[in-house]
Chains A and B, each alone.
Chain A
Amino acid sequence: MDSHAAVEHGPELLHHFSDAEQQRNAASLGMWLFLVTEIMFFGGMFCAYLVYRYWYFGDFGAASQTLDIRLGAFNTAVLIGSSLTVAMSIWAAQTGRRKVLVGLLLATILLGLVFLGVKAVEYHDKFEHHHVPGASFHFEGEVPGHPGLPVNPYHAQMFFSLYFAMTGLHALHMIIGIGLFSYLTYKAWTGYYTPKYYTPIENAGLYWHFVDIVWIYLFPLLYLIDRHR
């Protein structure tokens, strides 16, 4: 049945592809298309954010300034660091450094966990201050730059609804990513990936970088509204 049995290839080549390059190109294109769906998936939330930020800019500013900018910036740095370790792990796979590869993948997981830990601290803080949308939500304050103009608590709640929705969806993606990388680490440790075949690492890496890019936008949009006032 397999007419190309004579062609030399690894066990990872599936029957319906004619060669490893075709399989790799298919996997890569598939991953990129999946990331496009992810862009649009987050896009719906970005659209909601944009609309309400346009309507309630002052209230959004006041709510945004209750977020801890140091933790936000720290987490940004952590994620960028993890993107570096992911990029380096591709290099390690391409050059066949198995131990380095495992180490870099572990470092990625570790940085991902640090990010989630900091996020948990921030969520806990919001919970303490009754900034979690719902029945016990409470927000008082003035619109930045407009002394005496009180913040509409509904509009502040809208900010926090979007904050939790967007960062929550992002965190969910991080958790999935950490799961993926745990599996990759195990496979890499067994020596499954070679300089000829490392497509899963490449594709998981694309996913991780995408999640990083989402955060690159979330950070200024959520933490940096009207900070100068």
Chain B
Amino acid sequence: MATAVVTAERENYLNKEYGVRSWLLTVDHKRIALLYLVSVTFFFLIGGLFALLIRLELLTPAGDLVQADTYNKLFTMHGMVMVFFFLIPVVPAVLGNFLVPLMIGAKDLAFPRINLLSWYLYIIAGVLMLHCMLTGGVDTGWTFYTPFSTAFSNTKVVEAGIAVFINGFSSIFTGLNFIVTIHRMRAPGMTWSRLPLFIWAQYATSVIMILGTPVVAVTIVLVAVERLFHLGIFDPKLGGDPLLFQHLFWFYSHPAVYIMILPSMGVISELITCFSRKRIFGYSFVALSSIGIAVLGFLVWAHHMFVAGISLYAALIFSALSYLVGVPSAIKVFNWTATLYRGSITYSTPMLYAFGFLGLFTIGGLTGLFLACLGVDVHVTDTYFVVAHFHYVMVGGVLMGYLGGIHFWWPKITGRMYPEFWGRLSALIVFVGFNLTFFPQFILGYLGMPRRYYQYVPEYQVLNVLSTAGATVLGVGYLMPMVYLLWSMRYGKPASDNPWNAAGLEWMTSSPPPTFNFDETPVVDFEAYDYEHIPEKHEEEVAVG
């Protein structure tokens, strides 16, 4: 269907208008996606800088690089920036924004202006966060735990809280927009059972955004009010319960992990089918497991509080429920693996990232089961075991999916191919660097090294040096795509409409797409991932690698 070369002059969403104004006031979901791409990358660099400083401090057992207070601020702001300003928006706001309308055959999201508002809220929150960091920062940990945050910390808790609050509404509006769009804007013939699994994943994510985010928003309001007026809502001296804060906080913040990982899982479904040229194994299981994760994710939050003083009976039930989340996650991994079986696999960059995802997510997920187990959790709570576990899921999982997706859809987004050699190299470096950084932390945690301290006993040094070395490799791996993707925007080989010969509506329009996505609203008369009926590519087109 696609001819190999696209004439450069065809009008598309990038060259339709020029100038700052045409970007800052755009209501085109694709342009907003690019606005997000630039801004989340900026915050990723900030968060990465904090990570670098943390790892440098931990290179030696003594607290010699920064003061204890500074260290507290470093890990707090690393967490806040990475969680709220990078991981939560990254896949939905960049890839989701770009792809949701394209994949379902719509001209735009249902509420384009609210979509732009989401971005502005994100920017306002981000600027506030930056201001907060530049004028002293916060030291409560990204979790804002009370009563430290309300009664003792003398840093800018309220300002950071307001930033998180505003950012929450950005997230809520994005989720709302996606749900309405997926329900109401599908092209004729695009039934629920024909939806790409990326859309199912975005849908499940949006459900969590809508149900969870308001709770953390109101909780942050209560923290701010408590801090300003000392009403006692979370203060045990005045009859309050600090654990209530944790309940309300984790009601959102545990499902928030699924806000991060689900969209990446959606990306992986797209990549694995395309590069093994097979229909996904067990479509409906993969689709519904996304919804399953979203719902079950709300039933497990108190496993973050096992040693905090909740009742033993509640802890037992939350422990048992936590295991349940493993079921839909395992369904996904098994189905992806079954899809690979006897597929004709191409080891392109996106696929390498997808393999990386499978490996890292599986390790992260399985160690999650250790932590769900009440008895083991008591042993490793607040150690580096936990740190390693959630980095495997939230960084290993999410970023592998995101980078895989960015490479996969880069030709669609920019109309240019990225350099395949450098892509594969970066995927490899990221995978090696990631494991070198975080696998030693599992061992450190198991040996008992607590998190959030700037000093440690000398016995832990070897593993910490390994971890810091890994972080350096990982940093190089993350910087490489930024360089060569930027390079490719100008010098990359022009991409055809469907360079991967992939299934899906987004590949049936030009690269880059026109402003309203399709010249004519497509009519869908084929199933998702219908690779049996898509002919193999010509040799010359495969030759990108």
Q: Is B240 an interface residue (CB 8 A)?
A: yes
Q: Tell me, in angstroms, the Cα distance from A106 to B308 when the chains sit together.
A: 53
Contact status B225-A43, CB under 8 Å: no
Partner of A133, one of B177, B211, B231, B244: B231
Contact status A22-B520, CB under 8 Å: no
Contact status A33-B179, CB under 8 Å: yes
Query: Which residue, of A15, A16, A39, A157, has the highest number of chain B Cβ atoms within 10 A?
Result: A16
Query: Which residue, of A55, A133, A161, A165, has the highest number of chain B Cβ atoms within 10 A?
Result: A161
* 14 A/B residue pairs, CB under 8 Å, sorted by A: A1-B515, A3-B521, A14-B112, A22-B185, A26-B110, A26-B111, A36-B210, A38-B214, A43-B215, A44-B222, A45-B222, A51-B241, A154-B239, A158-B233
Q: Tell me, in angstroms, the Cα distance from A40 to B211 when the chains sit together.
A: 6
Partner of B184, one of A25, A41, A152: A25
Q: A residues within 8 A CB of B106?
A: 16
Q: A residues within 8 A CB of B172?
A: 37
- Which residues does B use to contact A, with CB under 8 Å? 106-108, 110-112, 172, 176-177, 179-181, 183-185, 210-215, 217-219, 222, 225, 229-233, 238-241, 244, 247-248, 515-516, 520-521
Q: B residues within 8 A CB of A55?
A: 239, 241
Contacts known (A26-B185, A37-B210, A165-B222); A16 close to B238, Cβ less than 8 A: no
Q: A residues within 8 A CB of B248?
A: 44, 47-48
Describe B's contact surface by its main secondary structure.
helix
Partner of B239, one of A36, A47, A152: A152
Nearest 3 A-B pairs (CB), nearest first?
A44-B218, A41-B214, A16-B107
- Which residues does A use to contact B, with CB under 8 Å? 1, 3, 14-18, 22, 25-26, 29-30, 33-34, 36-45, 47-48, 51-52, 55-56, 133-134, 152, 154-155, 157-158, 161-162, 165
Residue of A nearest to B220 (CB): A44
Q: Tell me, in angstroms, the Cα distance from A37 to B107 when the chains sit together.
A: 26
Q: Tell me, in angstroms, the Cα distance from A111 to B241 when the chains sit together.
A: 38
Contact status B107-A161, CB under 8 Å: no
Contact status B239-A51, CB under 8 Å: no
Residue of A nearest to B225 (CB): A165
Contact status A155-B107, CB under 8 Å: no
Q: A residues within 8 A CB of B241?
A: 51-52, 55
- With A26-B183, A52-B240 known, 12 other A-B pairs at CB within 8 A are A1-B516, A16-B106, A17-B185, A25-B184, A26-B110, A26-B184, A30-B177, A36-B211, A37-B172, A41-B214, A154-B239, A158-B231
Task: Looking at the assembled complex, report how far the CB atom of B28 sits from the nearest CB atom of chain A, in whole angstroms.
Answer: 10
Contact status B222-A48, CB under 8 Å: yes
Residue of B nearest to A40 (CB): B214
Q: B residues within 8 A CB of A22?
A: 184-185
Contact status A29-B222, CB under 8 Å: no
Q: Tell me, in angstroms, the Cα distance from A81 to B471 when the chains sit together.
A: 63
Q: B residues within 8 A CB of A3?
A: 520-521
Q: Tell me, in angstroms, the Cα distance from A29 to B176 when the chains sit together.
A: 9
Contacts known (A26-B110, A165-B222); A158 close to B214, Cβ less than 8 A: no
Q: Tell me, in angstroms, the Cα distance from A43 to B213 when the chains sit together.
A: 11
Residue of B nearest to A18 (CB): B521
Contacts known (A16-B107, A37-B214, A154-B239); A29 close to B184, Cβ less than 8 A: yes
Contact status B176-A37, CB under 8 Å: yes
Contact status A40-B180, CB under 8 Å: no
Q: Tell me, in angstroms, the Cα distance from A18 to B521 when the chains sit together.
A: 10
Residue of A nearest to B181 (CB): A26
Q: B residues within 8 A CB of A16?
A: 106-108, 112, 185, 516
Partner of B238, one of A33, A39, A157, A162: A157
Contact status B233-A161, CB under 8 Å: yes
Contact status B231-A157, CB under 8 Å: yes
Residue of A nearest to B172 (CB): A37
Q: B residues within 8 A CB of A41?
A: 214-215, 217-218
Contacts known (A1-B516, A29-B184); A51 close to B244, Cβ less than 8 A: yes
Q: Tell me, in angstroms, the Cα distance from A25 to B181 when the chains sit together.
A: 11
Task: Looking at the assembled complex, report how far the CB atom of B481 sits from the nearest CB atom of chain A, in whole angstroms.
Answer: 32
Task: Looking at the assembled complex, report how far the CB atom of B208 sits from the nearest CB atom of chain A, in whole angstroms.
Answer: 11
Contact status A44-B107, CB under 8 Å: no
Q: B residues within 8 A CB of A56?
A: 239
Q: A residues within 8 A CB of B229?
A: 133-134
Q: Tell me, in angstroms, the Cα distance from A18 to B500 when the chains sit together.
A: 31
Contact status A44-B215, CB under 8 Å: yes
Q: Tell me, in angstroms, the Cα distance from A134 to B106 when the chains sit together.
A: 54
Contact status B183-A154, CB under 8 Å: no
Q: A residues within 8 A CB of B520?
A: 3
Residue of B nearest to A30 (CB): B180
Task: Looking at the assembled complex, report how far the CB atom of A162 sits from the nearest CB atom of chain B, in whole angstroms.
Answer: 8
Q: B residues within 8 A CB of A39?
A: 214
Task: Looking at the assembled complex, report how far the CB atom of A96 sits from the nearest CB atom of chain B, in whole angstroms.
Answer: 27
Q: A residues within 8 A CB of B240?
A: 52, 158
Q: A residues within 8 A CB of B210?
A: 33, 36-37, 40
Q: A residues within 8 A CB of B185?
A: 16-17, 22, 26
Q: Tell me, in angstroms, the Cα distance from A76 to B180 when the chains sit together.
A: 33
Q: A residues within 8 A CB of B183?
A: 26, 29
Q: A residues within 8 A CB of B179?
A: 29, 33
Contact status A33-B215, CB under 8 Å: no
Q: Tell me, in angstroms, the Cα distance from A165 to B224 when the chains sit together.
A: 12
Task: Looking at the assembled complex, report how far the CB atom of B510 sits from the nearest CB atom of chain A, in whole angstroms.
Answer: 15
Q: A residues within 8 A CB of B244?
A: 47-48, 51
Task: Looking at the assembled complex, report how far the CB atom of B368 sits from the nearest CB atom of chain A, in whole angstroms.
Answer: 25
Q: A residues within 8 A CB of B215?
A: 40-41, 43-44
Q: Tell me, in angstroms, the Cα distance from A42 to B240 when the chains sit together.
A: 19
Q: Tell me, in angstroms, the Cα distance from A15 to B212 when the chains sit together.
A: 32
Contact status B176-A158, CB under 8 Å: no
Q: Tell me, in angstroms, the Cα distance from A134 to B230 when the chains sit together.
A: 7
Q: B residues within 8 A CB of A1?
A: 515-516
Contacts known (A26-B110, A41-B214); A161 close to B219, Cβ less than 8 A: no
Contact status B214-A47, CB under 8 Å: no
Contact status B211-A30, CB under 8 Å: no
Contact status A30-B214, CB under 8 Å: no
